[in-house]
Amino acid sequence: MPSIWILGGDGYLGWPTAMHFSNRGYQVTVIDNYFRRSSCKSLDLGMLYSVPNLVDRAKIWYEKTGYEIKVVITDLSDPIEFRKLFDGEMKSHWFLSDPCINTPETIIHYAEQPSAPYSVLDHKHADTTLINNLRVTHNLVWLVKEFSPDIHIIKLGTMGEYGTPNIDIEEGWLNISHNGRSDKFLYPRQANSIYHTSKIMDTDLMWYAVRIWGLKVTDLMQGPVYGIETDETILDNRLRTIFNYDEIFGTVLNRFIVQAVCNHPLTIYGSGNQARGYINIRDTLQCVHASELNPAKTSELRIFNQITEVFKVNQLVNMVKKVGKSRGYKVSIENIKNPRNESEEHYYNPSYQGLKDIGVSPNILTEDVLHKFFEIVEEHKKDIRKDVIFKGIKW
């Protein structure tokens, strides 16, 4: 079966992706340096429940399924350490019989600092974001070029790269006519944080590697993700992914559900008319798998907008309020002064057809989905810390 590396395999999306591919017979290796865990500890952030370390997760997964996930703990921003993965020096920290790491057909790149608020906390955290994100991506394209240029790289981008332009958002590319001539360019980017700026630079690095070295890359411009449960996590609660509800690592709908359960006001930044594209965590797995099954061609940077629905924040709040009240919660809403430098009234019309064309069937956000989400959060209600939900980080 095909071999896959998942960079950032301990994270909110990385670990579910590892199980998803392993459950389908792929040879999976996860690589991580525990950045998310260490950041949660140092910043005193809100994790809904504790999760085992990667080695213990892999052991539990093997006990439940009989499938092996190899584990490597290393810092991929270090080019010497990253190189060891390709030249055979790096061994798995947990294995059944063979500690060697096979060269993969596909590398899925999640190994980045994923939070906009984190990136603007101060100079130190902004610097960490840029150094980590750009060095990992830079190391990745150079090493693929040197060792195995036929590897398909699937990189997680973000819809935040586009900003909120007053024109339709195409899937990564824009046809331009100027002075009687035409060409196709990367769609204009306009980031609102250091994190999103680093992701724009990622895309530019990938585009360089595709044009100059002939690599093949799929760049997935993902919107905010919500949810906990996947087909694999239901096998054992210890396999659930890392879940944050704070303002740094917790995505907006995840925060709202936790706020409703612990009787904290649903905090709306400003007017609540900000529109974004959202996606269920199950669909993230669908999209990445469909991209792997239908790889980009040599010398192609293929870009998909990885969202399934567009909502305004007020729409999400009203859905959570309705379901929360039906479950007996006294859900309140609080509009607070927006700590973010962003447009609250804006046009937003992104295209997101490409992934559907290669087989993705979206999971739509319904009241039933929200009820199930509430049930899981309610299991950990007594452990929710209200004091970490909102601290007013400005950016």
**List 12, 137, 197, 199, catalytic entry:** 199
* Helical pair 123-147 and 79-87, crossing angle rounded to 10 deg: 30
Copy the structure tokens of residue 173.
């590319």
Q: 312 has which bridge partners?
A: 275
158 is catalytic: yes
Copy the structure tokens of residue 369.
């989905």
Using the CB atoms, write b or e for 188-200: b if 16+ within 10 Å.
Answer: ebebbbbbbbbbb
| Amino acid identity, position 185 | F
| Amino acid identity, position 127 | D
Residue 102 to residues 70, 140, 192, 235, Cα–Cα distance (Å): 10, 16, 39, 27
**List 17, 29, 106, 158, catalytic entry:** 158
195 is catalytic: yes
Residue 316 to residues 248, 272, 351, Cα–Cα distance (Å): 19, 9, 21
* 179: region left, alpha or beta (phi > 0 left; psi from -120 to 50 alpha): left
**List 195, 226, 269, 348, catalytic entry:** 195
* Euclidean distance between CA atoms 153 and 173, whole angstroms: 19
* Euclidean distance between CA atoms 265 and 1, whole angstroms: 49
Contact in structure between 163 and 170 (CB atoms under 8 Å): no
| Amino acid identity, position 158 | T
Q: 91 has which bridge partners?
A: 100
For Cα atoms 369, 374, 375, give the angle at the middle one, nearest 5 degrees: 100
199 is catalytic: yes
State residue 217 phi and psi, 5-degree precision.
-135, 135
The gap from C-alpha 297 to its chain's centroid, in whole angstroms, comes to 24
* Euclidean distance between CA atoms 76 and 92, whole angstroms: 15
Residue 140: exposure state from Cβ atoms within 10 A (0-12, 13-18, ≥19): buried
Q: 266 has which bridge partners?
A: 333
Copy the structure tokens of residue 143.
């090493």
Torsional sign, CA 242, 245, 246, 248: positive
- The catalytic residue positions are 158, 195, 199
